[in-house]
Amino acid sequence: MLRKFSPEKFRSHFPILSKPLRSGKELIFFDNLATTQKPQCVIDKISEFYSTYNSNVHRGMYEFSEMATNGYEQTRTSLASYLCVKDPREIVFVRGTTEAINIVAHGFGRRFLIASDEILIGAVEHHANYLPWQILEREIGIRRRIIPLDENHCIDIGKYEKMFSDRTKLVAIQHINNVVGGVNDIEKLVKIAHKNGAKILIDGASSLASKKINISKLDCDFFACSGHKCFGPMGSGFLFGKYGLLMEMLPYNVGGNMVNTVRFEESIFKMPPDKFEAGTPDVAAVIGFGEAIKFLETVDMPSAQAYLGELTSYLGKKLAQISGITIYGKPAKSGIFSFNLEGIHAHDVATYLGNEGIAVRAGTHCAQPMMQILNVPGTVRISLCPYNTAKEIDIAVAALGACATTFKPKPRLGRN
């Protein structure tokens, strides 16, 4: 493994990884796409908020509220800097990627799209990037067109480029596929969309924990991400949107804080990002997310990404040695593997591993269209993080081998 990146040092920031389970077994956490674990600094920051200056933001004329507001807005500034976003007002705080995509679907879709307009969507998107567009299709009459995949379950760029027409208004795609780990060439996809006069939304939920994202260079119109998938608290996340678009979009939620004037006759909304942040936010989660960004700034991300690539290769070789395993896709150093063991339900495999202290995910991974493509009811998914180790992989692969042996279908005896 690379000397420049120390998984042991990185791992030491996460207290939960050193705590034994109730069974006495050591935790091996391989469900990092569902959520990453939290470093101690994030945990301390949330505790500090609730124990020393818990209050609402933007409203109070007292010390605690000013402290909370400063912490909340500092996260916006820090996040904009980390993402190379020039204007912090282009960062909207949300509960997660799902809410961010819904803001775009509601605010952009109902403002700019009309019947017969087209949206291009990847064939293997998370449900959060299917359902809002299906609803718009029913309500407005837009047309969803599904982008074909290449042999690695990534966007087929050649076919993608040929799908545009003068009716294509938006592209909505994942950066990294959350089932098989294929990494889309989003820079190229963005350029093609803009060349054809379309806007583009990137679902970055699976990428920010292991990749440094430069949104200014990428030049996408929207980028959505969940904080809890990149070492921040649950209930945190952001939507980046180009300010001109945010100005024209309709608000998704309405209520307190997002409005300047309310009259019986009409109301006047605030400017972005306030227009999209109605009501009381999860202030502690946002401030905790800000601490997670500070933590990420201390990580040599290229080295961490290279280490994750080595882990991915190592796990792929080890999994391939298990009898009766089917691995779907070709993970591109993303640390994401979906597989099944012959004759054993994915849930049974996950339960067996769980009893050994190994946390994996099993099911459809909120990607049922992907299961249709793979022609399976579900898969077992391992998703790695830079705090994982080769030793953990060895333990998990041994457990999978034992599971395959334990539940191996017995041959049927013929009649005499």
- Which residues participate in catalysis according to the annotation? 366
Q: How many CB atoms lie within 10 A of CB 217?
A: 10
| Alpha-carbon distances, residue 129 vs 214, 224, 372 (angstroms) | 22, 11, 16
Q: How many CB atoms lie within 10 A of CB 208?
A: 27
Residues 6+ positions from 156 with CB-CB distance below 8 Å = 147, 148, 149, 150
Q: Which alpha helices (H) appear in 141-278, and where do they start and end?
A: 157-161, 186-195, 215-218, 243-248
Residue spans of beta strands (DSSP E) within 263-301: 267-269
In this structure, are residues 14 and 346 in contact, taking their beta carbons and an 8 Å threshold?
Answer: no
Q: How many CB atoms lie within 10 A of CB 416?
A: 3
Q: How many CB atoms lie within 10 A of CB 385?
A: 26
* Exposed/middle/buried for residue 221 (C-beta within 10 Å: 0-12, 13-18, 19+): buried
Residues 6+ positions from 47 with CB-CB distance below 8 Å = none
User: Would you give the distance in Å from CA 392 to the centre of its chain?
Assistant: 23
Task: Report the C-alpha gap between 87 and 220 in whole angstroms.
Answer: 14
Residues 6+ positions from 270 with CB-CB distance below 8 Å = 257, 258, 259, 260
In this structure, are residues 235 and 325 in contact, taking their beta carbons and an 8 Å threshold?
Answer: no
DSSP SS3 for 402: helix
Q: Give the tokens for residue 250.
A: 């309709």
In this structure, are residues 284 and 50 in contact, taking their beta carbons and an 8 Å threshold?
Answer: yes
Q: Is 375 left (phi over 0), alpha (psi -120 to 50) or beta?
A: left
Task: Report the C-alpha gap between 148 and 78 in whole angstroms.
Answer: 37
Task: Report the C-alpha gap between 359 and 343 in whole angstroms.
Answer: 21
For residue 128, which of 97, 173, 153 has the smallest C-alpha distance? Answer: 97
Question: Tokens 């990149």 correspond to what residue?
Answer: 230
